[in-house]
Amino acid sequence: MASRAELLTAEEVRNLIAMAIARRTQRSAFYWRRKVGRVLRLPPRSGRSYNWFVDPSGDDDDLALIEKAITIVRAGHPYIA
């Protein structure tokens, strides 16, 4: 696991997800931050490969884009501070 100094915050992860989607769509990062919703830190549990989840909103197309971005961001940042 990365040291605490290297971990991103929930807000930083939210911004990464929003920016990843905004670069590939006609919508702004502001729009996508609202759609991504909250990034919440999960309590420690052995066997879990990440410690955060997202509470997104939107139509099916929005949710599909958000889920794909979450997968990509989580691969590089599975744990948040």
DSSP 13-65: HHHHHHHHHHTTSSS-HHHHHHHH-EEEEPPP-TT-S-SEEEE--S-HHHHHH
**Domain-wise residue ranges, the chain:** 4-76
Planar angle of CA 1, 19, 5, nearest 5 degrees: 25
Whether 41 has a pLDDT exceeding 70, the answer reads yes
How confident is the model at residue 29, as a pLDDT?
A: 97
Average of per-residue pLDDT across 33-57: 92
Q: What is the mean pLDDT of residues 33-61?
A: 93
In this prediction the pTM is: 0.89
